[in-house]
């Protein structure tokens, strides 16, 4: 079955601490994975996609097919990183379906 | 134009009313989506249109009726809604594959 799992509902860290938001997926096809972020009172927006292998706002995410994971990492968290983060999987079917994880709320304390 | 525009931003309606939500994108995306999002929950897929045809209906009650008049527009017609239908309704567009979805700001719907 196709599934995206984010095991932590809430992650609270101090400013300047490293942060890792976990994402595991289950999919028999070739995964197309994304991290989306929803800041307070803002629209849901793309943060990262695995294919571009870039760093956005200091965040990186590496696809590990062996562990079926796509964890989001940042070495030094900032207060403005506080938001809701969703891991998502595009299914390679004709229906253009995306499966979202349950989300992790990141709270960065001063 | 890299935005998805949704109107109205807020909507309050009674259970016997008929109203419509509208969504527009001019990025040439071949797929458009309706999601329902409750507070502190992920978006929940309702419908997908691909190439202007309904390709996915996630067993949504018939009181929600989608329509795709052309490749840039997506409507969601509402009739006889229930209080539990109160939520943020998000529209998105995308190309599928390794491309992300682009989301609108949503319509916050309250059913009295």
Spell out the per-residue pLDDT of chain A, length 110, in tens: 889 999 999 999 999 999 999 999 999 888 899 999 999 989 999 999 988 878 889 999 989 999 999 999 999 999 999 999 999 999 877 668 899 999 999 999 99
Kindly indicate the confidence band of residue B1, based on its pLDDT and cuts at 50, 70 and 90.
Answer: low
Q: What pLDDT sits at residue A51?
A: 81
Cβ of A102 and B42 within 8 Å? Answer: yes
Q: Does B81 touch chain A (CB under 8 A)?
A: no
Partner A contacted by B94 (CB < 8 A): yes
Q: Which residues pair with B34 in a beta bridge?
A: B47, B91
Position B47 scores a pLDDT of: 96
Residues of B in contact with A33 (CB under 8 A): none
| Omega of the bond leading into B8 within 30 degrees of 0 (cis) | yes
* Percent of chain B topping pLDDT 90: 88
Q: Do A46 and B98 touch (CB under 8 A)?
A: no
Closest CA–CA distance from residue B67 to any residue of chain A (Å):
16
DSSP B80: S
Q: What does the mean pLDDT of chain B come to?
A: 94
Task: Find the radius of gyration of the CA atoms of chain B.
Answer: 13
Q: Is the dihedral of CA A67, B94, B37, B56 positive or negative?
A: negative
DSSP 8-class letter at B104: -
Per-residue pLDDT, A52: 81
Cβ atoms A84, B37 nearer than 8 A: no
The answer to whether B41 contacts A103, with C-beta atoms less than 8 Å apart, is yes
pLDDT tens column, B46-97: 999 999 999 999 999 999 999 999 999 999 999 999 999 999 999 999 988 8
């Amino acid at each position: 079955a196709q599934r995206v799992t984010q095991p932590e509902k809430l992650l609270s860290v101090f400013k300047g601490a490293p942060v890792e938001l976990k994402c595991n997926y289950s999919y028999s096809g070739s995964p197309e994975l994304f991290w989306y972020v929803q800041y307070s009172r803002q629209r849901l927006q793309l943060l990262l996609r695995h294919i571009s292998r870039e760093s956005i706002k200091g965040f990186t995410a590496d696809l590990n097919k062996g562990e079926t994971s796509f964890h989001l990492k940042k070495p030094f968290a900032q207060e403005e990183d506080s938001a809701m983060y969703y891991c998502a999987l595009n299914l390679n079917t004709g229906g253009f379906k995306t499966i979202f994880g349950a989300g992790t709320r990141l709270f960065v304390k001063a | 134009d890299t935005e998805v525009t949704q109107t109205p931003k807020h909507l309050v309606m009674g259970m016997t009313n008929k109203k419509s939500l509208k969504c527009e994108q001019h990025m040439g995306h071949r797929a458009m989506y309706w999601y329902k999002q409750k507070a502190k929950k992920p978006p929940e897929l309702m419908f997908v249109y691909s190439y202007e045809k309904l390709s996915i209906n996630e067993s949504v009650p018939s009181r929600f009726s989608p329509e795709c008049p052309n490749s840039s527009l997506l409507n969601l017609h509402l009739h006889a809604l229930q209080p539990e239908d109160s939520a943020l309704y998000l529209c998105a567009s995308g190309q599928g594959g390794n491309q992300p979805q682009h989301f609108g700001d949503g319509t916050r719907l309250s059913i009295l």
